[in-house]
Structure 1
Amino acid sequence: MDIRFDGKVAIVTGAGNGLGRSHALALAARGAKVVVNDLGGRVDGSGSSLSAAEKVVAEIKANGGDAIANGANVTNVLEVDAMVRQALQTWGRVDILINNAGILRDKSFAKVTDDDFKLVVDVHLMGAKNCSKAVWEAMKTQGGGTIVMTTSSSGLYGNFGQANYGAAKMGQVGLMNVLAIEGAKYNIKVNAISPCAATRMLSDLVDEQANQVLTVESVTAGLLFLASEHSPSKFILAAGAGGYASAGIFETQGIYLPPEQQTPENVARNLTTILDTSNQQQFKEGNDQTVKFVGKAVEYQKRAKQ
């Protein structure tokens, strides 16, 4: 199996540096035409410049590829819509969206300001929503496409000082879950990558030895799979330093308590059984949880009547 993107058009946000740059270069090297989007700001989101995106475009073209630069701020719906129109006017389609743009404003929850919390959520979560919404109709019309969210271990598992970042990154998982369901009948696949790489965002957190193995290219290898026609949908791929794993949300079988026993004390008494992972499930959609719980109640009622 050779993963190629010949004839495909990709939009990569936050593609001026780090992971986004790596993704854009790799997509182009495998045949995709690429919109290199980057606001050109600092890690905290301040400032703007198109120069970073233009450098990546120049590198793609020097290698024989095709790309255009775009400086849209992903939090601005009008700019995002214009970016997608630019892609459609230039190449006639949009097949791949990589929601990679992001910023950091790390502080403990006690010290983080509302403005810093909101801005991080706006860039990561609302930015992903804005870009996904902008390409949705085009993908439906052309018969499909792939969208990749960029989540994080900070959202999946938590990390001190990143309440804003973690909330936004876990929000992208929720967005992926719903869009994967709604997009299925249109052949739109929606996945997420949980990367670990030595980028500007991680530069102060890891030592030199870790920097050498936490390459952006190792993450991009997983990203290219998720963006391809060979990928599943509604899948979280963790990637870093050459390691690749699946991350997911599972629910235990739990217990059933009849109405007269539904007390907090009985929930506490049964905590060991509630936590038992031996028969846990990964649901396809939210209603599966309701079906499971109602099924347990109905089964109990049937036994009670016998």
Structure 2
Amino acid sequence: MSGMLAGKVAVVTGSGGGVGRGIALAMAAAGAKVVVNDIGASLHGEGLSAGPAQQVVDEIIKAGGQAVPCTDSVATRASANNIIETAVQHFGKIDIVVNNAGNLRDRVFHKMSDEEWSQVIDVHLNGTYYVSRAAANYFREQESGSFVHMTSTSGLIGNFGQANYSAAKLGIAALSKSIALDMSRYNVRSNCIAPFAWSRMTSSIPANTPEEKARVEKLQKMDAGKIAPMAVYLSSDAASHVTAQIFGVRANEIMIFSQPRPVRSVHMSEGWTPESIAAVGAPALKSHFYPLERSGDVIGWDPI
């Protein structure tokens, strides 16, 4: 197939449905050979099935593309290695990794269990590391490659009841920056997308109060397939100059997110004491303090 990704081989994790499915289909339509990775479990991790991955593979093949399924988990080093090896064994190489696999275990922080914390960190943050690390040696040897990682405004801005998810997603943004820095000498790029989309994962968001119901209604308008064009672009040679960036995709809207930089400093020639910080330093910086906001407070306009 011809297209922006002709001749490339892509792994898309968590691509049995939702955002990942849209990306896998778009990658194939753009000419890539695709490993469709999904463990086929429920949102809470119960049951494993090859069905979701195979269904997407069947769609790609029916449309004239090339794809193979993979049901290995991203959450351990060994199984993540298997995901990348699936690409190499079937298609001879690996050019693109899209770290999309995810789960949710929402709980207010003071009630969160260690298991709920670990399950989310293992899939999102550790999974992104394991899959990326497995591909890194191939990228280094061939002196090319593109990583696309899914972050979230829950981490970039904040959200209620998602300490585990927020920590993982902000960690992914930092991991992406480090990969971009460490592997730039090998022409390897690493970028993030914060997707706004209705999917099986976001369908677990509570909708009990009028405010929660209104939020869910807005989310339901956001087509998961809208994320795919940015993922394809970032994976293509057309984006060879783009690395270490964080993009947001929200319906027909594309955003670029700021990254932390100093915005104000104060100096005390004789050095600071706790008392002088309270009297002078903190008041001088106060106008630049960030309010306690969640994602919906900052990005509150309706999608277009």
Q: Give TM-score scaled by structure 2 length.
A: 0.85
Q: Which residue matches 2:49?
A: 49
Pairing 1:220–2:232 present: no
Q: Which runs of 5+ in 2 are unaligned?
A: 206-212, 289-304
Alignment size in residue pairs: 276
Pairing 1:242–2:240 present: no
Q: Which residue matches 1:120?
A: 120
SS at match of 1:200: coil
Aligned equivalents of 1:40 and 1:210: distance in 2?
A: 27
Aligned equivalents of 1:248 and 1:200: distance in 2?
A: 28
The answer (yes or no) to whether the contact 1:80–1:131 under 8 Å persists in 2 is: yes
Q: Which residue matches 2:105?
A: 105
Q: Which residue matches 1:190?
A: 190
CA gap 1:15/1:67 in 2 versus in 1, 3 angstroms:
same
Aligned equivalents of 2:103 and 2:86: distance in 1?
A: 25
The answer (yes or no) to whether the contact 2:11–2:37 under 8 Å persists in 1 is: yes
SS at match of 1:254: coil
Q: Which runs of 5+ in 1 are unaligned?
A: 278-306
For residues 175-228 of structure 1, the C-alpha deviation after alignment (integer angstroms, 9 at most, x for no partner) is 011111001000000000000101012225465753553011222122222222
CA-CA distance at 1:258 after TM superposition: 4.0
Q: Which residue matches 1:255?
A: 265
CA-CA distance at 1:98 after TM superposition: 0.2
Q: Which residue matches 1:170?
A: 170
Aligned equivalents of 2:22 and 2:82: distance in 1?
A: 24
Q: Which residue matches 2:238?
A: 230
Pairing 1:274–2:282 present: no
Q: How does 1:21-32 map to 2 (within 5 A)?
A: 21-32=21-32
Aligned equivalents of 2:103 and 2:52: distance in 1?
A: 16
SS at match of 2:93: coil
Aligned residues: CA RMSD: 1.9
Q: Which residue matches 2:4?
A: 4
Identity fraction in percent = 37
Aligned equivalents of 2:262 and 2:82: distance in 1?
A: 45
The answer (yes or no) to whether the contact 2:5–2:232 under 8 Å persists in 1 is: no
Q: Which residue matches 1:130?
A: 130
CA gap 1:218/1:273 in 2 versus in 1, 3 angstroms:
farther
User: Which structure's CA Rg is the greater one?
Assistant: 1
The answer (yes or no) to whether the contact 2:196–2:219 under 8 Å persists in 1 is: no
CA gap 1:273/1:244 in 2 versus in 1, 3 angstroms:
farther
Aligned equivalents of 1:263 and 1:138: distance in 2?
A: 52
Name which structure has the greater RCO, CA cutoff 8 Å, separation 6+: 2
